[in-house]
Every structure is written in structure tokens, then in C-alpha cells.
Chain A
């Protein structure tokens, strides 16, 4: 049962010597053996390496190292397959990086290690984080633990499913247009996308550099606060990282939200919203009001242009970032008579469909004669989207909305139609374009059989994760949805 611990409970039990880190890791590995053939959340795990890390943690605990000194000592954290861990495979769920072994630790991994965490395996994702369902993984999709016929969401679907089903204590994901918040919402976990620049991107394989952020996927808000505190803060290896030190997020969680102004964007409560989602969100909003929040309607008038803007900016940046996969220095190489033919062949075979589509679209919008019409134009609309939030945050402290228009959709439901898949990200994408912070926290279930989790999204001003976490925690404590777990038969 140790696999079902939260970070907070695990720290408590480890410090009281009720159990060992070895036992936690063993419980998580056992869970992986039992259920991962059904879920496919993990792409890779080295049992011996995980146990060796746990034994080191136990030794430190036995000689009196405390969680004050090493806040995550003995806690296994699963890592999305696009964050570099020295000596572990790093494939971004792509064939083009098959057999690649990371030569260095990402900054977030260095920080987790210094905090005593156990770096626990590689989780599945959409190839290069391009997708909303994990169906674009070259190594098979991740299934939703609440209904195996449905998607776990994406792109961090493996991390979210692994946390939901207790294959790990917590996980790291990355969010470019909703890739932490959407799978967290589909799987019933907490997913936090920090403010752009709050967390170092050094060692994160870049998809869209002006939008990407690493963040925690956890069982509770308290755990997200704990993890963020460790991974946030200045890094000289990432010049876009904000210099302000990370505040003590967990310490502020218990403060009340009395008087906090919460805005409901009228553009988010639209027609396409699933009735169960609408209900759950309306109830969540009432609950925030009961907890002392002051709710008012606001307007984010450029919301409907966010997806078009995103698919120009993100694909343009992706086409440049993914140019590095050329078969010269690492990864797959298919031979050709000359370098050009080698590039064509390697990239043609190495990339999956969605990655090729996005590189092609990005190449097109940046190509000679179209730059102004697409890329520059989208950058201007991005300014307007940012201003919407600036104006909104003059009136309110936080924005509350659904994370997604529906609960988890069926596998195959949208995979043949890229545009339909893109449109499902309507509520998460603006946050990345504006560079603000956002969280998804469980707020109920659908009335379907089997029932599916629904996520409440809260959005905060840049660098205001503290308020975001406080409001989410307050809401979570009032409802305790996190205590409800998916049941997967283990035969």
C-alpha cells in the first residue's frame, strides 16, 4: 500500500521510521508489474538502479539526515521521457532517439537529486510532446486508468496515469499548450504549469521554447507545492529562467482564501462544454465562493484565436528546434549518398506522423514570403491574448475555468483528425501564450459508467503560484476528491 502514499505522507512515515524508501520503491515497482501492461505509462525503468537509489536514501536516513536538509529524501519521482537524466534513455517517445542515453542531468533532475529524491524511470508521452492523447508515442499509447478504452491525455499522459494508479509517488511533466494540466485532469491528478521562466528548461528537449515549462504532476496540491519549491529558481544554464528565488510554497497553503477575487471568463463557459463538466465547474465555483472567494465574470475576448495562434508559433519554433535531429551527432541515422539524402531519409523514417505534420506547418509559416502573413501576425495576436490576461488580472487575483471542454475522450476518437485534436486544447493554450501559471485540480466526476475525473483549472498572474496553490489546496481540502482512486484489475 506504500505506493499510494503522497509525498507528504511518505516523508512523515520515513522520518518516523515506519517504513523504508526501499519498501516504497518496491511497492511502486510491484504496482508497475501488476498494472503497467494495461496502462503503458512507463517506457523504461531500471529496477536495480531505483532500488540502489532507495538504499542510499535509507542509509542517509539511518545516519540522521532529515527531510529539513533533503526535503525529498527517499521519494520516487517518475520523469517524462523528454527530461535528461544522466545514464538513462532519453527518447521523447520517438524512434529518432532510439538508443540515445542522456549524457547529463537536467537542472530539475540535479535539484531533485540534491533534495534526495529517487529518479524513477521514464514515462510515456506524445512524441516530442506533440499531442493531446499520448497516441503519438512511437511506443504505444498510455491508457486512462479510469477507463482503459480512453486516453490518459497528453502529452504528459504517462506521468499522469502513473501518478493516478500509484506506480510512483509523484512525477514531472512538461506543458507547452496544456500537456501537464490536461492529462492531470483526465486522470484525476493535480498538474501545475509554472509561470514561464519559473523553472529551468536546461536538459528539457525543446519543442516550442517560448512556451515550454516543466512542472509537477502529483496526487495532492501540497505535493505540487513541495515539488515546485525544489525545482523552481534561477539557473545559469537557462538564461530565460527568472532570478527571483522560489518562495516557501508549502508554508503558505493553509492560509484562507477569504477575499480572494476569482474571475470566470465568459468565453470559457461556451456551448461545446460537456454538461457534466459544466456542472462540476459550476459547483466548484460555488464552493470557491463558500470558501470566501469573491467571484465575478470577466472577459478574455481573444480566447477563440488562441489555438490558431498557438499552431503557428509552436510549430514555427518546433521546426527550428527539431532541425537538430539530422542523424549526424546522435540518434537514428539512415544512410544516403550525400548528407542531404541522409537528412531526408533519417527524418522521413525517424519522426512520426504528427511530428512531421508540425515540422511541415512550422516550416511553411516561416518560409520566404509567408513569415509576415503567419508568424509575425500570430505574434501580434499573442500580444492581444497577453493583454486580455493583463486586463483580467487587474480586476481579479485568479481565473477559474474548466481544464478541458470534456472528460477523457476515447482512444482513436480524434487521432485521425488533427484539427479536432488541436481544438480540444482550447482552455489550456492561452496560459502558455501569455506565459502565466496554471493548475488543474480534480473537481468531480462525470455521471457516465465508468465515471471519469473532471479538472478545475485555476490561472494566476505571472509568478503568483503561491495564490494558485493556496486556492487549489483550500478547494482540495474541502472536497478530498484525491482520495478516490481508479480500480484496475490486476490479473
Chain B
């Protein structure tokens, strides 16, 4: 497992997770071990094998198009860390 392959800072950025220096080192080593283990899969010949994304042969499920009771905006906002005027408040996005 070489470091160039698994760049923990880049992955943490993609996952939007801030890591401490200790965490970067620890997870880097631990995930390196796990990825080495995962390499075991290369022993398996998967030529011509269809991937399984789901255990069921799913077909599109339709229901009748009718109005049903759903969460009120009050209920939907109940757990909001910050709200005002029936809206979620977030840090400024546009300069």
C-alpha cells in the first residue's frame, strides 16, 4: 500500500470531515491495513460477471398519485440547529 495511492487529506476533504493530525496518522495506517486486506479480491476471476447492485430483481414500483398527509413545515424544522421565518439558516454562501 503506497502513500501516493491513498491520500488521507484529499479523501477527508471529499468526505467533508476535518481530521486532527493524530487522526490522519491513525486512520491512514488502519485504512492502509484494510485496503491491503481488500486486495485479496484480486484473486477472484470476475471476467464476464455481471455486477450486483442490489439483492432483489427490482422493478419500478408505482402507487396511485394521490395527496397524503406529510410532515408539516413546523415538524420538519423542529430539529433545525438554526431557523428563522420557516427556513433553515446557514452561513453565507454567496459573496
Contacts and interface: CB of A to CB of B under 8 A. Distances in A.
Interface stretch (A165-173, A281-289, A336-344, A403-411): A336-344
A390 B49 CA distance: 15
A329 interface: yes
Nearest to A342: B91
A50 interface: no
A104 B55 contact: no
A159 B54 CA distance: 27
Contact of A360 (B27, B82, B91): B27
Nearest to B17: A347
B89 to A, nearest CB: 9
Interface string A302-334: 101101110110000001000100111111110
Contacts of A240: 54, 56, 58
A330 B91 contact: no
A15 interface: no
Among B17, B18, B44, residue most surrounded by chain A Cβ atoms (within 10 Å): B17
Contacts of A332: 81
A367 B7 CA distance: 11
Do most interface residues of chain A lie in helix, strand or loop, or is the interface mixed? helix
Contact of B79 (A103, A210, A377, A380): A103
Interface residues of A, number: 73
A123 B19 CA distance: 29
30 contacts: A101-B79, A103-B71, A103-B79, A196-B56, A210-B55, A236-B63, A239-B58, A305-B41, A305-B43, A305-B44, A307-B37, A308-B40, A331-B81, A344-B18, A347-B15, A347-B17, A348-B20, A353-B27, A360-B15, A361-B31, A363-B11, A363-B15, A367-B14, A381-B44, A381-B46, A381-B49, A383-B52, A418-B30, A433-B55, A435-B55
Interface of B: 6, 8, 11-12, 14-20, 23, 27, 30-31, 33-35, 37-38, 40-41, 43-44, 46, 49-56, 58, 60-61, 63, 71, 75-76, 78-82, 88, 90-93
